[in-house]
Amino acid sequence: MRLGIDLDGVVADFNAGWMSRYNAEHGTSLTTDQVDHWDAMVDLTEFSSDTEFWEWARNGDRPGLFRHLPVFPDALPALNRLASEHTIVIITTKPRWAVHETYAWLSDNRIPTREVHITRTKWTVDCDIYLDDGPHNLEALVGKRPDRATCRFVRPWNQPVAGALDVNSWDDFEDLAKNHRL
């Protein structure tokens, strides 16, 4: 099967990454358990808008935020096991300036994929099962691909989406992929 896997919030710990950098630069002590809604970075910081946050994340001419995100501990072992029987298709949304660092991150972390799509319209990539944490992405996948399995990686920043299957861990997702019938 083709497994459409999101990166940030699913494989890469986006919140731990930006918070680590923000804490180092601003002398704060933000923790990932403070994130309880999508786009919490504006509410938890001095930034007055998403635009300000993303300008900071870009980091001028140096590598930006996406280049050094930590991998969730269970993600890579699970992806490697899944890749032995399925095609791992990475489907992520990134700012234009983060495209090269995303490819470098995938390489550095040895993510087992031969197919990467960086797009805002994730539903245009044909997969049998999708795994995402973004509320807007989940709604679009369920709406545009009702004949496919869409899985919500349950996180504090997302809520159930009608038509999406909830998975709480990589073990849950592996079980779902193992038992899924086309």
Does 154 share its domain with 137? yes
Please identify, among 28, 51, 68, the residue that sits at the C-terminal boundary of a domain. 68
The pLDDT-based confidence of 60 (bands split at 50, 70, 90) is confident
The pLDDT-based confidence of 63 (bands split at 50, 70, 90) is confident
Does 49 share its domain with 123? no
Instruction: Indicate the average pLDDT of the chain.
Output: 96
Name the least confident of 64-68, 83-87, 152-156. 64-68
Does 62 share its domain with 126? no
Does 74 share its domain with 28? no
Q: Give me the mean pLDDT over the 121-132 stretch.
A: 98
Does 118 share its domain with 54? no
CATH code: domain of residue 165: 3.40.50.1000
Identity at 135, one-letter amino acid code: P
Does 51 share its domain with 99? no
Does 109 share its domain with 169? yes
Does 30 share its domain with 75? no
Percent with pLDDT over 90 in the chain: 95
**Residue reference for tokens 């994340």:** 57
Instruction: Look at the chain and report how many structural domains it folds into.
Output: 2
The pLDDT-based confidence of 171 (bands split at 50, 70, 90) is very high
Does 83 share its domain with 152? yes
Does 89 share its domain with 33? no
The pLDDT-based confidence of 62 (bands split at 50, 70, 90) is confident
Domain of residue 46: give its range: 15-68
pLDDT digits (tens, 9 = 90+) for 24-44: 999 999 999 999 999 999 999
Does 8 share its domain with 93? yes
Q: What is the C-alpha separation between 165 and 152, in angstroms, rounded?
A: 6
